[in-house]
Amino acid sequence: MQSATVHVLPSCDIDRLFALRQAARDTGAKVVIQKPKLVTRPPAPIDPDGGRAA
């Protein structure tokens, strides 16, 4: 059986954070407090012929 995970931003109000921690503890969920990570994509490959243009 897998447990639920609650992700919380560090900018969350402290009172709300305590309430979320207590609710997670009561239900057996895990609380993760971290900033969202930026997802970067690699640049598109450069085609010297201008793509598939005829």
How confident is the model over 9-31, as pLDDT tens digits?
888 899 999 999 999 999 999 98
What is the SS3 assignment for 38?
A: coil
Under the banding of pLDDT at 50, 70 and 90, the label for residue 1 is: low
**In sequence order, which residues have a C-beta less than 8 Å from that of residue 40 and are 6 or more positions away?**
none
Euclidean distance between CA atoms 3 and 20, whole angstroms: 15
User: pTM to 2 decimals?
Assistant: 0.56
